[in-house]
């Protein structure tokens, strides 16, 4: 690049920085967020666990309630239970996907139990971030009442507590109530080509 091009680049970048600084000046509010990760793509749970890593690093006490993957021996469960039991409370409510248990009554009881624990953790003034992993599956099958969940998040959640709810097919009521919603969209997935779920990537 010539000197002229570099100067034009520096000027353009200066303008972008100024615009961004003006935009960010308006962003002064801190609040506990209701976050939803949904969609058919990969990354809903793993980005929740990425935020748990950030919370531990910032010494923000946090909690995880896993609603569905309960009987899986996941990397994140082992990691958090064995190494960060003081920093992150880890609860399991479910016993796996419902087609594995084949017992709807037991699934409902597990989901209800998970939601009871979730409320306790969210209300605990010490806890700053709660990950409700795969709760959307339990909500979708009406194992937990969506109206009760939305009402609790909007009216009883402490103002500064973050809650992240993951799972496909998030209910419209939850999306409406949330501050931040990301849809993980599946563009390509190796399962289609016969590749199985692998350690480090999927669990």
Binding to its own copies in span 133-172, by CB under 8 A: 162
By CB under 8 A, residue 125 contacts its own copies:
no
Residues in 12-41 that interact with its own copies by CB under 8 A: 13-14, 16-17, 20, 24, 26-31, 33, 35-37, 39, 41
Dist. CA 107–CA 95, nearest whole Å: 8
Asked if residue 174 binds its own copies (CB under 8 A), the reply is: no
Query: Using CB under 8 A, which of 93, 98, 121, 136 touches its own copies?
Result: 98
For its own copies, the closer CB: 125 or 199: 199
CB of 154 to its own copies, least distance (A): 15
Smallest distance from the beta carbon of 21 to its own copies, in angstroms?
A: 9
Nearest partner of 112 among 69, 171, 67, 57, judged by Cα: 67
131: helix, strand or coil: strand
Could you tell me if 35 and 170 are in contact, meaning their C-beta atoms sit under 8 angstroms apart? no
Backbone angles phi, psi at 10, to 5 degrees: -60, -40
Query: Could you give phi then psi for residue 81, rounded to 5 degrees?
Result: -70, -40
Closest CA to 94 of 109, 105, 82: 109
Q: How far is the CB of 121 from its own copies (least distance, A)?
A: 15
**Per CB under 8 A, 173 contacts its own copies:** no
Does 2 engage in binding with its own copies (CB under 8 A)? no
Pairing of strands 162-166, 129-133: parallel
Positions 43 through 62 that interact with its own copies (CB under 8 A) = 43-58, 60, 62
The SS3 assignment for 132 reads: strand
CB nearer to its own copies: give 123 or 181.
181
């Amino acid at each position: 690049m010539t000197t002229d091009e570099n100067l034009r680049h520096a000027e353009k970048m200066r303008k972008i920085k100024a615009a961004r600084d003006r935009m960010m000046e308006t962003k002064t509010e801190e609040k506990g967020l209701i976050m939803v990760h949904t969609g058919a793509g990969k990354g809903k749970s793993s980005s929740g666990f990425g935020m748990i890593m950030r919370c531990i690093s910032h010494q923000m006490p946090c909690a995880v309630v896993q609603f569905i993957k309960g009987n899986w021996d996941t990397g994140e469960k082992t990691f958090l239970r064995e190494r960060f039991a003081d920093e992150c409370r880890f609860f399991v409510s479910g016993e796996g996907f419902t087609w594995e248990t084949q017992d709807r009554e037991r699934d409902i009881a597990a989901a209800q139990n998970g939601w009871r624990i979730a409320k306790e953790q969210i209300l605990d003034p010490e806890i700053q971030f709660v990950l409700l992993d795969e709760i959307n599956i339990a909500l979708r099958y009406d194992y937990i009442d969506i109206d009760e969940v939305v009402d609790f998040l909007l009216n009883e959640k402490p103002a500064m507590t973050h809650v992240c709810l993951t799972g496909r097919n998030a209910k419209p009521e939850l999306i409406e109530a949330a501050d931040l919603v990301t849809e993980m969209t599946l563009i390509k997935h190796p399962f289609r080509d016969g590749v199985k779920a692998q350690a480090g990537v999927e669990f």
